[in-house]
Each structure stands twice: as C-alpha cells, then as structure tokens.
Chain A
Amino acid sequence: MNTHQTNFVRTSMLDQSTPPVLEKGYIAWIRKNLLATPLDAVLTIIALLVLAWFLPPAIKWLFIDASWTGGGRGVCATAAQGGSQPEGWSGACWAFVGAKFDVFMFGRYPIDERWRPMLVGALFIALLVPILIPRIPYKGLNAILLFGVLPILSFFILIGGVLGLPYVETPLWGGLMVTLILSFVGIAVSLPLGIVLALGRRSTMPVIRLLCTTFIEIVRGIPLITVLFMASVMLPLFLPQGMTVDKFLRAVIGVSLFASAYMAEVVRGGLQAIPKGQAEGADSLGLSYWQKMRLIILPQALKLVIPGIVNTFIGLFKDTSLVSIIGMFDLLGIVRQNFSDANWASPVTPLSGLVFAGFTFWLFCFGMSRYSGFMERKLDKGHKR
C-alpha cells in the first residue's frame, strides 16, 4: 500500500536570514534618528546646513589659521596692520595666550614667588581629590583640613610676611588664582551661612525670622554688581576712620554674602521637603534643637538639594568674574587688561583671549555639574520611584 506522506516534519533548521537592509546598521539608525518623518528630514537638512556654515570657519579660525608661536603682535596681524600675515587673514592668536599664560594664572604676583600659589594649588588638589571620591575614608578630617586649615594656611603662604616669606600685597594677586580663591572662600562661607539663614527663616522666633527673610529677599532681589559696589564703596563709609578693609577682602565679603542668600533659599527648599515626623521624632527622643538639626534634619535636607547647592556653586564661580568691574583682576579682568598690551594688540587678540578664558570657565563649571550628577546618582537611596 502506498500511503501518501501528508505531514511534514522539518529535520534541519533554516539558515538565519539577515534582517532587511533598511532595518539594520547605520542605514536603519539614520532612518530612525534623522529621517523619521518629513519634518525630521527638513530639520536634519537645516541642522546640517547650519553646521556646514558654522563649523568649518570656526575650526579654520581656531586651529588651522591660528598662529601658535611667536614673540609679538606681528604673528597675529596682517601686513596692513603691521604684521607678517597675508592680507585678509584671520585666525586665533594662541601665541598671545601662550606668552601671557603665566600672567593669566597668577596676575602680577612676583615671578620669584609664584611657587607659593602653586604650592597652595597642589595642597588644594591633594585635599580636594580624596573628598570627591566617595570610597576614600576620613571624610570628616579631610573636610576640616580642606575648609578649616587650608584657607588659613593658604592665606599666610600667599600673603607672606611670616617665616621669611616676602610680603605680597593683594593688588598684585590676579588671574585664575583670584577667581579660584574668591570662589573657594565664597563656597566655604556661603554654605554654613546659608544654612544658618535658612534655619533662621524657618525659626519660630519672629524677630530672627524677619531679619533672615529681609536679608535673603533684599540680596536676592538686587544684582551682584550693586552688592559689590556696596562692599567697595559703602563699606569704607561704615567703618570708623583709620579702619580699612582690604579691597580683596571687600570683594570676598560681597561675593560670600550674595551667594549665601541664594544658598539659604536652596537649603530652605530641602528643609521644607523633610516630613514633619522627622522633627517630631527627634523631639520625642529628647534631642536639643541643634542636635536635631545636625543629626536628623540637615543630613537629609542637604542630600536632597545637592543639585541646587552645586548649581549655586557654579553660579558663584561664574559670578566672580564680576569683580573685574570693581577694578580687580580675576581671570576675565586680567585677560581683558592684556588686550591693550601694545606688544600684542591686534584685531584677533581680544577674541582669542576671551575664547581661552571662556574655555577655562567652562571646564570648571562643566566639571562641577558633571560631578553633581554623579553624586546625585550615588546618594540616591532609591526612595524616588
């Protein structure tokens, strides 16, 4: 009998076939990410046109046409401007930045004494790096050294007049050094002061609350430049005759007070987010006000507002550039001052110097914001959904 085999059982697997060309590799990626809809296609074309219009000239100006070495304005000026470059040339003058690099870092700090700011910088990095890496222990001791001992030590190292170090007055300080000192002191003062102000604003004592609120609202309502003017013009008026405050210190005071008002509002946001039960629990355990704040409330509140605190730090760092308006030479101030150096003045010098200063500021601020993002993820205990 010849039965017809009707069923079919596959005994061998088919070879895997490749996905359609349009669904894999860079073609699929381009289709999905650049040309998903007609509108996307148009946007992509516009973006490409903008890039084509902007990027090549920018790269040409910044790198290809830039003059990297040279001892004077000749390398950065066209023949008609009294230099060696061909007519119509325009490029970054990195030679200017290179020649002035030391000045941009230290200002008019005496050349023989520049090891002092470098030493302070090295100490600062040596203390800062371990506090930033979460795994390294002894955070408390580290913080005391960084925020308590280092500022005092640095002050004496930088200003001198003790232990045989020559005295270097603050008007000679300048450049990135001043920017960093101002922002570091501002940060070190504004955080504790901001916490105190925030606690004061939430205090149950009306007089304290009113004082703190008034201070915070006034400072937050006016521009930093007016605060700096107050510090530089009005502070001498407020003090008795003969008592003067160093100009540098005035700027430090102005910047710190300004930042602490903003810090206070950030901290208050954190305090408000802590459930009332936490404070009540602390009260029922018999903790005093300061114990309650130090052990229960603030650790939770501060952790919540780390992004806000770092944003305030970044703002403070950027705001230090304003001291150049009241006649101090921070990084931006010293770069601008050197535009008019007869040895280097040319049409491209200002832009080159500003690009350099901008990149330096950007590097610090971007680093801070990246670190804050890292800490946020690190400290996230998973309470958030």
Chain B
Amino acid sequence: MEFETGRTPAIQITPRQRWSIAITYFLLICGFALGVNQRDSTLNQASVYSNLEAGISASYPARWLLEESGAYIFRVRDMSHRGYNTVIEVSTAPVGPDTTERNILDQLSLQRSQTLTDYSVLGYDSFRLPDESQAISMSYSYVARDASPFLEGVSSIVNGLDILAIRRGQAVIIAFRADISVYGRELETLRWFVQNLEF
C-alpha cells in the first residue's frame, strides 16, 4: 500500500486581505487602548461626597447615582450597568464596650437572611485600610431580582463584600455589592473608593 505524502499548498494572501488584517489588528489595538483610556477616564472622573455631620468625605465615580435617604449615610450606584447596579454603601452602627466586629457582621447576616434570597456568607478576611489599620471584611452572595411584580424581571447573582472598622465608638461599614459577572472588575472601583474615603 502506498501512501501519498504532500504539503498543503501555501495560502496566497492578496494585498487587499493583507490590508484588512492590518486594519483589524489596528482597530483591536485602538479599541483596547480606548477601553483602557475609558476605564482610566471613568476612574479619574470622580465626584466628591462630604458629610460634615457624620465626619465622612469620599470620592466616587462620576455619573454614579448618589443617595442619602435610606438606612445608610450615603450610597452610590452605577446605574449604567445592565443588570444589578453595582453599589457602594457607607453606614454606621452603634457599638458597646463588649461589641466585636464579628458581632456586628453576624447581626448584619441575620438581618439579611430575612430579606435576601439564598443569602450565604462566603467567608471573613482582614482588610488593610489606607491608614494601614486593619479592618475585617465579610464576603457573601445572594440572588437579587428586579422587584416589579408586573414585568418579567430576571434574577441576578450578587456578590457582596462588607468592610467593617470601629472608629470613635461606632462601627463604620462599607458595603460593596456587584453582579457576579462584573464583581472582580468592580473590586478595582471599591479599592479606589476606599483609598479616597476619609472617616
């Protein structure tokens, strides 16, 4: 039995195709550069929040919605994100002489388990604040759904991270929540937020 051996003939690229490939690569590089620039631009475009009464000032991404009327000092939300809107929320809680950070986080978990679907604590960790002090963090997940009962809203899996520090006899809680699909990317925003937070 004989086997024929041979090579696949070399593909001949026309000048027009060569130009197309070059332009495609150029556009990809431009797109990447634009994306990086856009990200930096977004992070650089910051709004400033200041609350003298609470002794808190912060920078947050421009064009995020600032809210102050809930059970928090303030929160900001990325309303342009499709799906669960990434949120960073700053609140305080009273502490007693025997209260530990873990007590407060457990209390938060008990409250959330009453209202959030499939709420689950994923773990605890330490978190270094910009002033080099240590805070405690708690990560968790749950399922969120657009609340309107009259539309066909879909659920989102949300990851959350609470950073808790006790300052001047009260607990300061920075709560960060984002859709699981963008959580890793949005953590950068949280780190930037914490770097610029003063309380």
Are chains A and B native binding partners rather than an unrelated pairing?
no
A contact residues vs B (CB 8 Å cutoff): none
B contact residues vs A (CB 8 Å cutoff): none
